[in-house]
Amino acid sequence: AKEKLNFAYGYPANSAVGLAVEDYAAAVAERSGDNVTVTGFPMSLLSLPETSPGVRDSLADVGFVLTPYYPAEYSNNLFLHEQNLLINLAENPTGKEPLAFTGAMLEYTFNNCPECLEEFKAQNQVYTGGGVTPLYNMLCKDTSITTIDDLKGKRLRAGGAGFVRFAEHFGAQGVRLPVNEVYEALDQGILDCAMLSAPELTNYNLYEVVTDITLDVPGGAFAGVASANVNADRWKAMSTEDREALLWGGNAMTAATTWNFYTDDSAAVQKSRDLGIAFHEPTPELLAAVKEFAAQDLKTVSGLFKETYGVERAEEITAEFAPILEKWYGLVTDISTKEELQQLYWDQVISKVDPATYGQ
C-alpha cells in the first residue's frame, strides 16, 4: 500500500537538519519507487523536547529525537553520546572526527548495544540513524582564550553538566542558559564566552556579537542524536521492502546531517574570518590540559552513569567503543563528499540490518 509519513524536526527548514530531511524524503521515495512519501514538518508540529513522546504517540511517524532530553528513558544511548570527549584524545586530528564518531556510534548502536535499541523500543520507536555536530569552540566577546590562565574567572555558557565540569575544572563559571539567549547574554556582557559549535554563529547570528574565537576548546561534539526514529507501530505494519527504504533513508539522513554540519562548520569559520573576527590558537599547554580533562572526565562519566544513571555495562561499553572509533578514523580519511559518506555508512553498517526482523 502507499505510505505517507510525517517527519517532525525541531529546526528551521533551511538548517543543516532541515536540508537533511529533504535528502531523507528523496532517498525514501527513490528507494521505494515512490511508494513511501515523506512530508517534513519544521518546528510547527513538535518542538525538540516533544519529538520523542510525539513519535511514540504517533503525532509524527518519523522524528529527529535528541536523547539528552530524556536521560531516564535513554541512559544507555546518552552514555554513548558522552563518549564524544574521545574526539579530544585523537592522536592526529584531521577535522573529520565527527564523521568518524557518527559511524562508530551508528555501528555500536546497531550491532553492540541491544540495551540502546531496547530503550527506543520501550518508547515505541525504531532507530534508523544518527548524526554528530562539529566540535565545540570558545566563542567570546571582548576577551580571548589562549592559555589556561585566560579561562580563570570567565563566565562561560555551558550547555550541559559536562560543560559545567569543564568550566569548574579550569576555574571558570559554567552559566546555564538556553542557546537562544546566548546572543543577548554575550552582547550585554553576562557571558564572556559561549561553548558552542561554529555553525551556531550562523544559526543564532552570533557573528554580530562575537569578537574572538578559539577553535577546539573545549572540543567534544554533540552526538545525542537519533536522527530518524520511526514510530514502531507504523514500522511493524509496513512491508519489508518499505522498511528497507526507510533504512536507506535513515542512512541518507545520518550522512546528510553529519555532512551538512561538517560543511556548515568550515563555512561559518570562513565567514567569521572574512568579518574580521579574531581567531586564537590555544597554547600547547592549554591543549594538553584540555586532553587531560577529557581523559579524566571520561572516567568520571563512566562512574556516574554506572552508579547513578543505571548503565550497567558502562566500563564494557567504554572499552568496546574506543577501538571502533579508532577504526572509523581510518575509514573516513578519504571521504570528500556527502555521497561517499552515505555509501560508507551504508556499506559498513546499515546495509547489514535485516529489514524483515529489525525493530519487531
Q: Which stretch binds another protein (CB under 8 A): 43-51, 132-140, 288-296, 348-356?
A: 43-51
Q: Does 208 bind another protein (CB under 8 A)?
A: yes
Cβ proximity to another protein: between 67 and 342 the closer is: 67
Q: Which strand ranges, in their side-by-side order, compose the sheet holding 278-280? A: 173-175, 155-157, 193-197, 136-140, 212-214, 278-280
C-alpha cell at 258: 553529519
12: contact with another protein by CB under 8 A: yes
> Which residue's CB is nearer to another protein, number 205 or number 351?
205
Residue 108 contacts another protein per CB under 8 A: no
Can you read off the three cell numbers belonging to residue 28?
A: 525514501
Q: Is 176 in the site for another protein (CB under 8 A)?
A: yes
How far apart, in whole angstroms, are the C-alpha atoms of residue 287 and residue 222?
20
Compute the C-alpha angle 7/9/11, nearest 5°.
145
Q: Which of residues 251-280 bind another protein (CB under 8 A)?
A: 275
Of residues 289 through 318, those in contact with another protein by CB under 8 A are: 304, 308-309
Residue 72 has phi, psi (to 5 degrees) of -70, -40
Q: Report the residue number, 184 or 347, with the smaller CB distance to another protein.
A: 184
Residues 51 to 90 in contact with another protein, rule: CB under 8 A: 53-54, 56-59, 68, 70-73, 78
CB of 355 closer than 8 Å to CB of 243: yes
CB of 324 to another protein, least distance (A): 25
Neighbours of 276 (CB within 10 A): 7
Q: Within 10 Å of residue 279's Cβ, how many Cβ atoms?
A: 13
Q: Determine the interface stretch with another protein among 50-58, 85-93, 211-219, 282-290 (rule: CB under 8 A).
A: 50-58
Closer by beta carbon to another protein, 100 or else 126: 126
In the block, residue with C-alpha cell 561499553: 317
Considering only residues 63, 130, 174, 355, which one is a binding residue for another protein as defined by CB under 8 A? 174
**Cβ within 8 Å of residue 18, ≥6 positions away:** 9, 11, 12, 40, 42
Binds another protein (CB under 8 A): choice among 33, 180, 334, 357: 180
Say if residue 44 is exposed, middle or buried (CB neighbours under 10 Å; 0-12, 13-18, 19+): exposed
Q: With binding defined as CB under 8 A, does residue 211 bind another protein?
A: no
Strand order in the sheet with 125-126: 36-42, 3-9, 62-66, 225-231, 125-126
Q: Return the number of the residue (93 or 160) whose C-beta is nearest another protein.
A: 160
Q: Tell me whether residue 11 or residue 346 sits nearer to another protein (CB atom).
A: 11
Which residue in 26, 89, 90, 190 binds another protein (CB under 8 A)?
A: 190
Q: Length of the chain in residues, anyone? A: 360
Task: Pick from 22, 143, 165, 291 the residue near another protein by CB under 8 A.
Answer: 165
> How many residues sit close enough to another protein to count as binding (CB under 8 A)?
57
DSSP state of 141: S
Out of 160, 211, 239, 340, the only residue in the binding site for another protein (CB under 8 A) is 160
H-helix segments, 112-239: 114-122, 148-151, 161-169, 182-188, 199-203, 232-236
Task: Give the residues lining the site for another protein (CB under 8 A).
Answer: 6, 12-14, 41-47, 49-50, 53-54, 56-59, 68, 70-73, 78, 153, 155, 158, 160-161, 164-165, 168, 173-178, 180-181, 183-185, 188-190, 202-205, 208-209, 275, 304, 308-309
